[in-house]
Amino acid sequence: MTTNSVLPDIPLTPFIRDILDRIDASAGSVKEAISLPPECYTSTEWYEFERRAIFDREWLALGHHSFIPNIGDYFSITINEEPLLVVRGKDGEIRVLSAVCRHRGHLLGNGSGNADSFTCPFHGWTYGLDGALLSAPEMNGTLPMEELRRTQCLPSLRSEIWNGFIFVNFDGAAAPLGPRLKVLSEEVKNHHMADLVAPPTVDWKGNPWNWKFMQENALEPYHTHYLHSGPHDFAPSRLASFFEWDEADDGAIFHPTGFLHVDGGFNVSARCLMPAIPTLTLEERQRVMFAAVMPNLFFGAQPDCVFFYLILPESPGSITLRVGLLTTIDNLSLPTAPLLLKGTVDGISVYNDQDVVANTLTHQGLKSRFAPRTRYAPKEKTLAQINTWLVKRYKAYADSLEPLKLAAE
């Protein structure tokens, strides 16, 4: 049984109302939209509003099912400031459990591995792979085990898998994700991402910028011609193309950028380092599809692999990025696979290092009293789409609070 759990509502303070009153101008066509009010990136108050409006109510990406192929495999992750365990159960199903021990709150299963059960190191309470409480030593003097078993299971959250990526939904009420990813699913179907495999991910911690910058930077091909001039030239921004916004299919925001040659790759050679995924068409081997499954999954589907970031916000100005890539089992079986994977990640790091500087300095700039609220260039079309996605959800959450407010008045 899954648990529905959201953070307590917060009042719509004058500060939040003022932002909401000005935010409509950020949505809609790139011809008219302006950027979000700068406080949306820098304010703790807005971040707390956003945790409720976005992170408590949308589908959040946690990883890929290839992280946990076998019964008992698990990994831990903290998202929306909530520690979670993602576990492959005895029935082969993937479950997302709270990682907080039901006794006094110690965290369970830090990291990743394989287990028959989870025993809390603090006082030895033990849980099954499905979250059921199996034992609680020495507790029978105060509470019968039967009652503990009935009331103290680890909460299990609603989850969905799309193309192998595991998503969780805290409020249990989000519309299914898959049906809102129709066009993207079609565009990347030949990558067969559910059949690809991820080598171990790495966490890049302590990134001092707002989570939205990560999606913005990754999705707009305006900056690539300037910030990444040189290494990005094989994928010039003039070969970027866009999709029109579709309200009924709004789970993702994405756009492809073409390459000047087949089998391009984001590294110093400008060529992918591993053999291309064999099911791709020639056209698909000459482009990368950049895609954000909002709010926190970004991936780039390129000829030989799919690299991805899971964006894990910790505050308005700090995120951890869990970084990985997916490729074919055949590629992972090559004798040179470790070197090729390292080369692929090192190649992407070159662009990331430049983006780190840009994101850090932009976050600082948006804290200024002179922070801009600006019009976009045509190649920033995806930014207007991100805003459209966000504004709809900000407003929906605020509207859901209005009756409460009126009732209190």
Provide the β-strand partners of residue 252: 293
In the complex, minimum distance from the CB of residue 133 to ligand FES, in angstroms, rounded to a whole number? 10
Q: Does 355 bind Fe ion (CB under 5 A)?
A: yes
Q: Of the two residues 76 and 320, which places its CB atom closer to ligand FES in the complex?
A: 76
CB 43 within 8 A of CB 15: yes
The item of Fe ion, ligand FES, none sharing an interface with residue 395, based on CB under 5 to 8 Å by kind, is: none
Residues in 95-114 that interact with ligand FES by CB under 6 A: 101, 103-106
Q: Of the two residues 41 and 125, which places its CB atom closer to ligand FES in the complex?
A: 125
Give the per-residue contact string, 114-143, with ligand FES (x = CB under 6 A; - = no). ------x-xxxx------------------
Report the alpha-carbon distance of residue 131 to residue 290 in Å, rounded: 36
Residues in 190-219 that interact with Fe ion by CB under 5 A: 217
In the complex, minimum distance from the CB of residue 307 to Fe ion, in angstroms, rounded to a whole number? 13
Q: Of the two residues 145 and 404, which places its CB atom closer to ligand FES in the complex?
A: 145
Residue whose entry in the numeric block shows the structure tokens 């209190």: 408
Report the alpha-carbon distance of residue 292 to residue 310 in Å, rounded: 10
Give the per-residue contact string, 59-98, with ligand FES (x = CB under 6 A; - = no). ----------------------------------------
Total chain residues near Fe ion (CB under 5 A): 2
In the complex, minimum distance from the CB of residue 142 to ligand FES, in angstroms, rounded to a whole number? 13
Sheet holding 165-169, edge to edge: 59-64, 165-169, 156-162, 94-98, 82-88, 73-79, 112-114
Q: Of the two residues 154 and 174, which places its CB atom closer to ligand FES in the complex?
A: 154
In the complex, minimum distance from the CB of residue 229 to ligand FES, in angstroms, rounded to a whole number? 53
Terminal Cα distance for the chain, rounded: 37
Give the per-residue contact string, 312-351, with Fe ion (x = CB under 5 A; - = no). ----------------------------------------
In the complex, minimum distance from the CB of residue 94 to ligand FES, in angstroms, rounded to a whole number? 24
Residues in 377-406 that interact with Fe ion by CB under 5 A: none
The item of Fe ion, ligand FES, none sharing an interface with residue 355, based on CB under 5 to 8 Å by kind, is: Fe ion
Q: Of the two residues 50 and 355, which places its CB atom closer to Fe ion in the complex?
A: 355
Tokens of 139: 């507790």
For binding to Fe ion (CB under 5 A), which residues are involved? 217, 355
Residues in the site for ligand FES, rule: CB under 6 A?
Answer: 101, 103-106, 120, 122-125
